[in-house]
A and B are shown apart, each in its own frame.
Chain A
Amino acid sequence: MASVSMDQVRKQYGAVPVIHDISMNIEDGEFVTLVGPSGCGKSTLLRMLAGLEDISGGEIRIGGRLVNDVAPKERDIAMVFQSYALYPHMTVAENMGFALKLKGQDRATIEKSVREAADILALGPLLDRLPKQLSGGQRQRVAMGRATVRQPQVYLFDEPLSNLDAKLRVTMRAEIKDLHQRLKTTTVYVTHDQIEAMTMADRIVVMRGGKVEQIGKPLELYDRPANTFVANFIGSPAMNLFEGAIVDGRFVTDGGAALPMPEGYQGATAAVYGIRPEHLTIADNGVPATVVVVEPTGSETHVLAKLGPADVNLVLRDRVEFQPGQTVMVAPDPKRIHLFTSQGLRAN
């Protein structure tokens, strides 16, 4: 196990910068998720950490050792790829033992290590099979096994669950988290799925356009997003954001709806009002909204409504019988209101 640190790490292709001076520290044994939309640079950053991409500037340290010019195999890290990248002509056991074979370990040691890793991941009965004879989930586990068998200082996961169906993704999510809890190996995990990031990580790094937007624990990001991008990206359904201005102690949206201000807020710079769908309730003292769509999920009800010209999403714990076109009174929880400046930065 080892800590990972990045200091002013930069990457550019010709004159085009794709990673802008990123700095962060990942503690020994921590599970950190890099999350962001496609093209935000999260996979590039991971590949720079792996040594598969050169870095244009800055420093990367693994376990305190500067690894800028160190080859991937010398970094003592293991990577799980999105496409699994299993060697198609090798059996599961051969795939898992290949790195040890290259290290020159004897056959008995390799077999023992492979067997141990296979036991952890329940791969024992599959050791003699070829990758093409495995299901998607099994292949994913073999890819993890191949990483585990080397006992690296750091695990790198590059969107490992993207090729799996929704149900299997949930199962594998739990397996990866369980594996981390047992091995306590420092892990950097890339995903574009914010649910994956929220459920698995000790800390999340939200990226956009090659820059870090916010680093924090999952619930910190959820409860106090640093800007409108993070507010919108973290959480599903996304946070409701309304543009407007503060008028006479209330926030008046561009559509004319007057919303209550958070308790104790004294500033006057807020230009965007944010409220999560589950922090809106139906109350007589609310503002009128017109129901558009009602989606009952069983445990809760999702309602899409119109607040003036703007869409507003509600997640209600109660089972409601609203009809499209019906007017309902929507009230935000004053303790859960987020205010942002016109530049999109947090104001409260």
Chain B
Amino acid sequence: MSDLAIPTLQTEAQRERSAIGSMRLLQTACILVIALVIVSPLFMLLIASLKDDRFQILADMGSFRAFWVSNPTLSNFAEVSNLSGELAFGRYLLNSLFILGCTVGAGLIVNSMAGFVLAWGTLRGRALVLSLVIALYVIPQESIIMPLVIMVSRAGMTDTFAVQIVPWVASPLYIFLFYQFFAQLPKELLEAAEMDGASVFRTYRSIFLPLSLPALATVSILMGIETWNQYLWPILVTQTDYARPITVGIATFFGQDSIYWDRAMAASVLMMIPILALYLAFQRWFVSSFIGSAVKG
């Protein structure tokens, strides 16, 4: 009996292995297709930025030539990044970096402090404030943008850096993210710090903030992307190149008479670099934060 049974078992095991192999092949193919869909526009952008003939770029679009460059050149990059050149692109880039740094820097401080107080503060009505924060999160930015424009213009803040930073520093989403992170840390840490003689602010600064690297990374990346990609707001509140960010700046390549595809492509590539650097810098904690929240539900 056993002599007969062994070959049967082996055949079943082989069949199972083969099924698993086919499944893996299918999965790999699916992942490749998805990756191709995501990566191909980026690749096309990069290739186009290395071409110096804007008419050729336009002609190549829609064919495989969009993914190939025979004489690559960095002239587009040199042109758009020349701070003293006729284009104000360099200025836009610096403006964007300044706005990004200030918004994210101030945002980390303000939102983490608010999250800490909501998680562990002894304020009356803490639960009500938390409910309000969550309620505010569902209100789309666009729906409050017109009243905001009126407010900032009455305050004489238009065409400044402050107008692009201050309104977006505090955010219900990031307050809630910090609240959630702090609330899951053990209460004994707070009590131990209290017994050691730490004030509330010292407890936040010396104990809770250093422990919130994953939350800081997550908020930095999400807030960075959001700030970097702001388009509607800067259009409404900036009138000159003085404080105009890169998103609005790129639009200047698309003139009424002609479209500078070569410069626009190079500018788009340059625009990606800072935010990509931000992501890479915080990626480790960002990923661990998402894994952590997934595991803890």
How many residues in B have their beta carbons less than 8 Å from beta carbons of A? 16
Q: Which of A30-38, A77-85, A191-199 contacts B (4 or more CB under 8 A)?
A: A77-85
What's the interface size class on A, roughly?
20 to 34
Q: How far is the CB of A114 from chain B (nearest CB, A)?
A: 13
**Which residues on the B side are within 8 Å of A102 (C-beta)?**
196-198, 202
Tell me if B191 and A52 are in contact (CB < 8 A): yes
Contact B202 A79, beta carbon cutoff 8 Å: no
Are B194 and A52 interface neighbours, CB within 8 A? yes
A103 contacts the other chain (CB 8 A): yes
In Å, the complex CA distance between A315 and B174 comes to: 63
Query: Is B37 positioned at the interface, with any CB of A under 8 Å from its CB?
Result: no
Bound state CA distance, A50 and B190, in angstroms? 14
Given contacts A88-B211, A89-B210, contact A83 B188 (CB under 8 A): yes
Task: Identify which of residues 164-212 in chain B touch chain A, using a CB-to-CB cut-off of 8 Å.
Answer: 186, 188-189, 191-198, 202, 206-207, 210-211
Q: A81-B188, A85-B188, A85-B189 are in contact. Are A72 and B195 (CB under 8 A)?
A: yes
Q: Main secondary structure on chain B at its contact with chain A?
A: helix
* Chain B residue, CB-CB nearest to A87: B207
Q: A167 contacts which chain B residues (CB < 8 A)? A: none
Residue of A nearest to B186 (CB): A83
For the A-B complex, the count of residue pairs with Cβ-Cβ distances under 8 Å equals 52
Main SS at interface, chain A? loop
- Taking the closest CB of chain A, its distance from the CB of B23, in whole angstroms, is 39
Q: Is B198's CB under 8 angstroms from A81's CB? A: no
Q: Is A98 an interface residue (CB 8 A)?
A: yes
Contact present for B197 and A89 (CB under 8 Å) = no
CB of B95, distance to nearest CB on chain A (Å): 36
User: In the complex, which of the residues B194, B197, B206, B210 has the most CB atoms of chain A within 10 Å of its own CB atom?
Assistant: B197
Q: Would you give the shortest CB distance from B149 to chain A, in whole angstroms?
A: 43
What CA separation (Å) do A52 and B193 show in the bound complex? 11
Write out the residue numbers on chain B whose beta carbons fall within 8 Å of the beta carbon of A83: 186, 188
Q: A140 CB to closest chain B CB, in angstroms?
A: 14
Across the interface, do A73 and B207 meet the contact criterion of CB distance under 8 Å? no
Contact residues in B for A71 (Cβ distance below 8 Å): 194
Find out whether the CB atom of B194 lies under 8 angstroms from the CB atom of A99.
no
Contact assessment for B211 and A77 in the assembled complex, using a CB-CB cutoff below 8 Å: no
Asked if residues B211 and A50 are in contact (CB atoms below 8 Å), the reply is no
Q: Could you say which residues of chain A place their CB within 8 Å of the CB of B206?
A: 98
Contacting A72 at CB < 8 Å: which of B186, B194, B202, B211?
A: B194
A89 to B188 alpha-carbon distance, docked (Å): 15
Which chain B residues border A87 with CB–CB below 8 Å?
189, 192-193, 207
CB distance from B202 to the nearest CB of A (A): 7
Contact B195 A73 (CB under 8 A): yes
Produce 1/0 per residue, A100-114, CB < 8 A to B: 001100000000000
Q: Is the CB of B197 within 8 A of A79?
A: no
The reply to whether A89 and B211 contact each other, CB–CB distance below 8 Å, is yes
Contact assessment for B186 and A99 in the assembled complex, using a CB-CB cutoff below 8 Å = no
In the complex, A261 Cα to B192 Cα: how many Å? 53
Asked if B186 and A73 sit within 8 Å, CB to CB, the answer is: no
Question: Could you list 21 A-B pairs, sorted by A, with CB under 8 Å?
Answer: A52-B194, A52-B195, A72-B191, A78-B195, A79-B192, A79-B195, A81-B192, A83-B188, A85-B189, A85-B192, A87-B189, A87-B192, A87-B207, A98-B196, A98-B198, A98-B206, A99-B195, A102-B196, A102-B202, A146-B196, A150-B196
Interface residues of B (CB under 8 A from A): 186, 188-189, 191-198, 202, 206-207, 210-211
Q: Using a CB–CB distance below 8 Å, which chain A residues touch chain B? A: 50, 52, 71-73, 77-79, 81-83, 85-89, 98-99, 102-103, 146, 150
